[in-house]
Chains A and B, each alone.
Chain A
Amino acid sequence: MTELLRLDRLAVHFTGRRNWRGRRPLPVRAVDGVSFSLGQRETLGLVGESGCGKSTLGNAVLRLVKPSAGEIRFEGRDVTTVAGAELRALRRDVQMVFQDPYSALNPKLTVGESVGEPLRAHGLATGQALSGEIGELLEMVGLPRERASRYPHEFSGGQRQRLVIARALALKPKLIVCDEPVSALDVSIRSQILNLLMEFQQRLGLSYLFISHDLSVVRHISHRVAVMYLGRIVELAPRDNLFREPLHPYTEALISAIPLPDPVAQRRRTRIILKGELPKPTAPPPGCPFHTRCPIAIPMCREVVPPLEEKRPGHWAACHLRS
C-alpha cells in the first residue's frame, strides 16, 4: 500500500492565556507524541473517549490547530508548517466532515453555494461550469440537482450530512478527516451515510481518518484501528486483530463496555467495568496514563511510561504486561 499520510511524534499542547493575575493555566497535552501512517484507499479508525485528544489530532492533520512538536508528512512532503500557496494546495488534498451537519452549513447560503464554495475559493470553476459541477456533486450523494437553490433548513439531518460530504468531495481530495460523521444521526440514517462513505472510497480511491467513539461503527468501516487515551495511542492494529485479540487492557474494557444488541449474549457476558473516569489532561498521572483505572496494573506502571511496541506483526500496544 502506498503511504499517503505519516505522523511522526506529533504533539499539540494548549498553553492557554494568562489570567488577570498573570498566571498561565496548566498546559493541556491534548496530543502527546503520536506516530502512525495511513495508506491510499485505507481507513484508519481513531477511537477513544471524550477528551482523549482524537479531535485535536484530526484538526492537526487538517492544519486547523498548530502542532507543538513532531512532523506531518503528506505524500512524503513535510507539511507541518507549510503556509500560503502550499497550505492551499494541501487543502485541496485533505478535506473534512464534522459531526454536526446543522452547524456545518451556512444557513444564509443556498446548499449549492455551500457545496460549490471550495471550487469557487480555489478558482476552479465559475458560472455554468460551477453550477454543472454542483449538480453532479449533489447527484453523487443521492440528492436531486434541482435542490441546489434551496437553503439548509429545508433538509433533514441525514441530507445535510450528505451535503457536507458533497462539499468535501468537491476538490477531489485524497484524504478526508471524518470527525464523528454519524454520531448526531438517527440509526436508520447512520447506515445510509456509512454506505455512502464506503462507496466513495471504492469509487474514488479515498483515504479516511475516521474519528469516532462508537466501536461498532469503527469496526465496520476501518481497515486499521488506533485507540487513544490521554493524548497517546495505546494500541494500533488491523481491525480483526484489534477486535479479536485486544492487547491493551483499555481496548479490552472499551470493547466489553459496548452493550450487544442481543439480550442472551449480553446478559451472559462478563464485563470489565472500569473504575473512575479519565484523569484531567492538565495533570496526567505519571507512568502509564491508564494505570489509575487499569484492572491489572502493577507498581511499575505507576512509574514507567510503556512505549508503543510492535507486539505482533502490525499490532502495536503500549502495555508493560502484554508481550
Chain B
Amino acid sequence: MTSAPLLSVENLTVMIGGAAVVDHISFAVGRSEVVAIVGESGCGKSMTAFALMDLLPAAARRTDGRIDLGGRHLHELDEAGMQKLRGKEMSIIFQEPVAALDPLMNVGDQLVEAIRAHQEVDKTQALAQARALLETVGITDADLRLKQYPFELSGGMCQRVMIAGALAGQPSLLIADEPTTALDVTIQAQILELIKQRRAEIGASVILITHDMGVVADMADRVLVMYAGRIVEEADAFDLFARPRHPYTEALLKSVPRLDDVPGTRLPVIEGAVPRPGSHGPGCRFASRCPLVIDHCLAEEPGLLPVEDGARRSACWRRDEVGA
C-alpha cells in the first residue's frame, strides 16, 4: 500500500447499552486489497461491518470514529448521503443469503430495483442488465431465475444473486460477512472462486469476515484478528500463518482439526470463554485465557504496536516471544 488507502478507519467504536462491542479500532484497506477480519462469535467483526455500512441494529450506536472511503467522510454523512453510496461505492453480502433477499419479490424485480437505485435507466434496460449480471455470477438459465422467488432457489443460488446485486453498481468496496458459512463445502468452493473472479474483474477491495482460517488462507492478502472488540493482531496473510504474533491467533490456528494432523489425539483448547462486552478488567482482554500471561498483562492493556520491521502489528506485551 504505497498510494492512499481506499478505506481508512480510525477509532471506530460501537456501543450496545453501556458496553463497547467494537472498541476504538483503526485499520485501512488498500485498493484492490482483500482484508480478512477473523475472530469468534461476539468479537465484534460483524458489528464493524455494519458500522461501516451504517446499517447497525437499533440497539447499537456508533459513538466514535472516522471512516474515510475514497476521500469521503462517511462518519459525517446522514442516511440520505449513505444511501447514495450503498450499492454504488460500497456493498455488503450476508451469511444467510435466503433471508437477505426479499421473499415477496422475484429475483428480476430485486435486481432491477438495485440497478435503478443508482442508474437512470428504464425497467427494460435494467432487466437486460440484470440478466447480464446473473450470467457474470455463473447463472446459466438467467431468464428462468429472473422470474423465480428466493424460496425457489437453493442457498448457493441465492448467494450468487446477492453477489450479482451487490456488484451491480461496480462498488469499490465489497464487504462479505461470512459469505459461505451457511453453504455446503462444494458450494463454498464455487462461491469463493466467484468472489475472487468478480473482484479481479471490477478491481474492488474486499473486507472478508469469517471465522474459518481455511477461507482466510485461500482469499486474504492481509488479516485483522479481533478479540473482544479490539484488533489484537494485523499481518500479511502469509506472515500470519507462518508465525502468529498474538497468543490468541496462535491458539485459534492450533485448536482447529486439520487434514494434516494426527487423528484421535487430544486437540489443543483455549480454556474459558470470551469476556462479555464491558466486563473486562484494565489489562489485556485475552489475559484470563492466555498461556503466556504475566502480571503486567493484568494491569495494563497492550496497544496494537509494530512487531520487528513494522510490517505487522500485535497487541501483546510478549509479542516478540509468541510463536518463536
Q: Which residues of A contact B (CB under 8 A)?
A: 49-50, 156, 158, 186-192, 194-195, 198, 213, 215-217, 219-222, 239-240, 243, 253-255, 257-264, 266-267, 271, 273-274, 277-278
Distance between Cα atoms of A195 and B257 in the complex (Å):
11
- Sort A-B residue pairs by CB-CB distance and give the 10 closest, nearest first: A259-B214, A191-B267, A261-B213, A188-B270, A220-B257, A49-B184, A257-B189, A186-B40, A259-B218, A263-B217
Q: Is the CB of A259 within 8 A of B192?
A: yes
B189 to A, closest residue via Cβ = A257
Q: Is the CB of B189 within 8 A of A188?
A: no
Main secondary structure of the interface of A (DSSP, over half): helix
Q: Is the CB of A254 within 8 A of B186?
A: yes
Stretch of B22-30, B101-109, B114-122, B258-266 on the interface side:
B258-266
CB distance from A224 to the nearest CB of B (A): 12
Distance between Cα atoms of A213 and B184 in the complex (Å):
8
Interface residues in B243-257 by Cβ distance below 8 A to A read: 251-253, 255-257
A280 to B, closest residue via Cβ = B154
Distance between Cα atoms of A243 and B258 in the complex (Å):
12
Could you say which residues of chain A place their CB within 8 Å of the CB of B157? 277
Distance between Cα atoms of A158 and B192 in the complex (Å):
29
Could you say which residues of chain A place their CB within 8 Å of the CB of B273? 156, 158, 189
CB distance from B152 to the nearest CB of A (A): 12
Could you say which residues of chain A place their CB within 8 Å of the CB of B268? 191
CB within 8 A of B255: which of A187, A255, A257?
A187
Could you say which residues of chain B place their CB within 8 Å of the CB of A190? 255-256
Could you say which residues of chain B place their CB within 8 Å of the CB of A267? 217-218
CB within 8 A of A259: which of B40, B154, B212?
B212
Could you say which residues of chain B place their CB within 8 Å of the CB of A49? 184-187
Could you say which residues of chain B place their CB within 8 Å of the CB of A239? 263
Q: Which residues of B contact A (CB under 8 A)?
A: 40-41, 154, 156-157, 184-190, 192-193, 211-218, 220, 237-238, 241, 251-253, 255-261, 263-264, 266-270, 273
Distance between Cα atoms of A207 and B211 in the complex (Å):
31
Distance between Cα atoms of A262 and B241 in the complex (Å):
6
CB distance from A229 to the nearest CB of B (A): 11
Distance between Cα atoms of A254 and B189 in the complex (Å):
10
> Could you give 30 example pairs across A and B, Cβ below 8 Å?
A49-B184, A50-B184, A188-B40, A188-B252, A190-B256, A191-B256, A191-B270, A192-B269, A194-B267, A213-B184, A216-B258, A219-B257, A219-B259, A220-B257, A220-B264, A221-B264, A257-B189, A258-B185, A258-B214, A258-B259, A259-B215, A261-B256, A261-B258, A263-B216, A263-B217, A263-B237, A271-B189, A274-B186, A274-B190, A277-B157
Central interface residue in A188, A220, A262, A264, by most chain B CB within 10 Å: A188
Distance between Cα atoms of A274 and B237 in the complex (Å):
27
Distance between Cα atoms of A219 and B260 in the complex (Å):
10
